[in-house]
Amino acid sequence: MLYLHDVWVNWFEGEELGINVCPFHEWRKMDPVELLDQVPVLKVNTILYEYVENSLSDLPANLLQDIHHQAYIRKNHERVHLENCAIFTDGKRIIVMDTIGYSIPIRKSRLVPRQEQQVLEMVTNVKELNYNLPIRESSTFLDNMFKSKKQEVALVGLTRKERQLKQILLLALDQIFLGENVLELRYWFTEWYPEKYNEVKNLSFEEAWEKFYNTIANGWSDKHEKFCEKMIRGQKYLEQLWETEMGERPYMK
């Protein structure tokens, strides 16, 4: 097995989509960056790489066995093993994951550029390791892939802050979708796009949702930010997420 030593990681916990696992240039001073003493490196096929990077599903049992206690971190001058931690690459992309004792990739990180290059050089002439995805998890992953990719497209090209705010907006949109209230949907569509009032007032829920989502999903702008602020007013959880990302800026009253 291949290993990388003195590995800098910045863990993003509970992130399903790899696009939310920030590259090195988006790391912040307050991020929980830590140094791992040793991490195994696995070259895998594209499907398994996508599975690790873009899901929170059970990993193959034999994969977990292979990486069990193979990664280490130093604490108080002692070398302490991590349960299941590894660097995955398909020869082009790289992600680090740690199950923190479970069977799913709960924590994920990117590498610093120098170590990314090291990994790519290490696996240049190495064969891919074969692991079969659990049948149930594989089916669910493939079924959800289209939805995940659609959400990922909505976040491509944005900065870290913009992605965080965009996801708050998408959460607010999901609540409207799940509510299936056509009057509420028409209201917010009109708030976003007043010029479309005469068209929107006659749309069915499905028609309004598709048009609304397609017009709001692309990019991020001051208009998106103000609209999101308005949508989440009174929703404590989303307000807290918003205030955390906006820092010292108070939430709009």
- pLDDT tens, 88-114? 999 999 999 999 999 999 999 999 999
Last residue of a domain, one of 117, 145, 173: 145
φ, ψ dihedrals at 248, nearest 5°: -80, -10
Question: Is there a single domain that holds both residue 199 and residue 140?
Answer: no
Q: In a 3-state reduction of DSSP, which class is residue 110?
A: coil
Asked if residue 249 has pLDDT above 70, the reply is no
Question: Is there a single domain that holds both residue 99 and residue 193?
Answer: no
Cα–Cα dist 246/44, whole Å: 38
Report the pLDDT value the prediction gives residue 241, as an integer from 0 to 100.
85
Report the pLDDT value the prediction gives residue 148, as an integer from 0 to 100.
61
89 near 123, Cβ under 8 Å?
yes
Whether residue 253 is contained in a domain is answered as no
Give me the percent of the chain exceeding a pLDDT of 90.
65
Give the tokens for residue 167: 């996801």
Question: Is there a single domain that holds both residue 116 and residue 168?
Answer: no
Continuous H helices in 54-97: 61-67
Question: Is there a single domain that holds both residue 136 and residue 163?
Answer: no
Asked if residue 14 has pLDDT above 50, the reply is yes
Strongest mean pLDDT among 14-18, 121-125, 197-201, 211-215: 121-125
Count structural domains, the chain: 2
**How confident is residue 75, by pLDDT bands cut at 50, 70 and 90?**
confident
* b/e code 174-195 from CB counts within 10 Å (16+ = b): eebeeeeeeeebbebbbebeee
Question: Is there a single domain that holds both residue 59 and residue 27?
Answer: yes
How high is the mean pLDDT of the chain? Answer: 89
Give the tokens for residue 34: 């830590």
Question: Is there a single domain that holds both residue 134 and residue 169?
Answer: no
Q: Which of 175, 202, 38 has the alpha carbon at shortest distance from 115?
A: 38
Work out the average pLDDT over 159-186: 91
40 near 87, Cβ under 8 Å?
yes
Range 114-117, long-range pairs (CB < 8 A, 24+ positions): 115/4, 115/7, 115/8
Whether residue 150 is contained in a domain is answered as no
Output the CA–CA distances (angstroms, integers) from residue 38 to 2, 3, 14, 32, 251, in the order listed: 10, 7, 23, 18, 43
Whether residue 151 is contained in a domain is answered as no
Domain with 187, as residue range(s), is: 157-246
Report the pLDDT value the prediction gives residue 251, as an integer from 0 to 100.
38
Question: What type of residue is 251?
Answer: Y
Name the pTM for this structure. 0.77
Cα–Cα dist 153/18, whole Å: 12
Asked if residue 144 has pLDDT above 80, the reply is no
Question: Is there a single domain that holds both residue 103 and residue 10?
Answer: yes
Work out the average pLDDT over 7-27: 93
Report the pLDDT value the prediction gives residue 253, as an integer from 0 to 100.
38
Question: Is there a single domain that holds both residue 20 and residue 123?
Answer: yes
